[in-house]
């Protein structure tokens, strides 16, 4: 089943919803401009609008590969039979403006920097330490911030980190936590990796993720501006799609390329034994929304 799984300190999982993304059902003009031409780029943009207006299918995702001037439509292993045939037909009608790819597991979001942060019931991962003036905060996933108002360093709640001051989910997937005055250890790193600035992702980029469940894993960016529909929580837009694996508890953790902060772990499919597809909230959007910066 395609679950949004939340890792609790009691090691239980809560289903929040199902990943689903709009796929066009209406045909596009049969004559398709040459790939890479200005006319073809315009056709991709028009096709993308058509996808946004269509009825969503659960277990699918779509985004843009700007280097190939294509829409990338992904289907997980729950999309079968007539639903799979409908998605494949829609992609086929888009011609060279789109390509279809299959994922071997169901899409879900994983709630649980990379260091573990514990709420009253659930565990997530700290994303990036950020600063506004002289006030210190950290970023994590919005679906983490929506369900927990305070965060500690351990399940025993002996050391308070701080409280959630803002969270955005659905629509986007980021949250801001203000450090408690009693806590003063907030290095500008993701594990041992120093973070000095933030940047936008690009297709083909090699990226690394750190999370409190699975540690450090790497992969490549495969699509941008990905839209996902969650049946229990609405729509998330503008995500980064990658080949990096993730598991429950990794949500909110940092995605980075060297010293550059790239994103926050949102969700995906698979695990770190067999691999998978993972989506990330671009960190630039969170920094802009909250008026904070990495350091």
271 classed as catalytic: no
Q: Quote the CA–CA distance of 230 and 101 in Å, as a whole number.
A: 20
> Of 65, 76, 173, 250, which residue is the catalytic one?
173
> Of 69, 143, 217, 229, which residue is the catalytic one?
143
DSSP tag of 268:
E
> Of 8, 125, 212, 251, which residue is the catalytic one?
251
Bridge partner list, 118 = 123, 152
What's the distance, CA 237 to chain centroid?
Answer: 9
End-to-end, the C-alpha distance of the chain in Å comes to 40
If phi > 0 it is left, if psi is from -120 to 50 it is alpha, else beta; for residue 193 that is beta
Cis (ω within 30 of 0) for the bond into 170?
Answer: yes
Q: Quote the CA–CA distance of 273 and 264 in Å, as a whole number.
A: 21
3 classed as catalytic: no
Bridge partner list, 222 = none
Token pair 């888009």: residue: 94
Residues 281/173, Cβ–Cβ less than 8 Å = yes
Residues 274/104, Cβ–Cβ less than 8 Å = yes
194 classed as catalytic: no
Token output for 219: 């992969």
Token pair 């503008």: residue: 238
Q: Which helix (H) or strand (E) holds 70?
A: strand 70-75
Catalytic residue IDs: 143, 173, 251
């Amino acid at each position: 089943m395609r679950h949004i799984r939340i890792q609790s300190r009691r090691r239980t999982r809560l289903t929040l919803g199902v990943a689903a993304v709009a796929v066009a059902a209406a045909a596009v003009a049969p004559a398709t401009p040459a790939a890479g031409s200005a006319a073809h780029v315009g056709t991709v943009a028009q096709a993308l609008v058509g996808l946004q207006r269509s009825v969503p299918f659960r277990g699918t995702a779509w985004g843009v590969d700007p280097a190939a001037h294509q829409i990338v439509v992904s289907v997980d292993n729950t999309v079968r039979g007539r639903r799979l045939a409908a998605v494949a037909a829609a992609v086929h009608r888009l011609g060279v403006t789109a390509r279809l790819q299959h994922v071997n597991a169901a899409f879900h979001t994983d709630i649980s920097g990379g260091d573990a942060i514990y709420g009253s019931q659930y565990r997530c991962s700290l994303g990036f330490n950020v600063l506004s003036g002289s006030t210190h905060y950290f970023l994590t996933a919005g679906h983490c911030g929506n369900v927990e108002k305070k965060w500690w360093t351990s399940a025993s709640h002996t050391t308070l980190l701080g409280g959630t001051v803002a969270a955005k989910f659905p629509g986007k997937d980021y949250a801001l936590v203000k450090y408690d005055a009693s806590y003063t250890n907030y290095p500008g790193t993701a594990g041992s990796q120093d973070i000095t600035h933030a940047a936008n992702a690009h297709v083909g980029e090699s990226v690394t993720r750190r999370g409190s469940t699975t540690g450090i894993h790497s992969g490549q960016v495969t699509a941008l501006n990905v839209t996902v529909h969650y049946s229990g929580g609405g729509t998330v837009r503008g995500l980064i799609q990658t080949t990096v694996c993730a598991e429950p508890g990794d949500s909110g953790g940092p995605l980075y390329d060297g010293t550059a902060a790239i994103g926050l772990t949102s969700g995906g499919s698979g695990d770190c034994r067999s691999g998978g597809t993972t989506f990330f909230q671009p960190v630039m959007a969170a920094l802009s929304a909250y008026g904070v910066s990495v350091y």
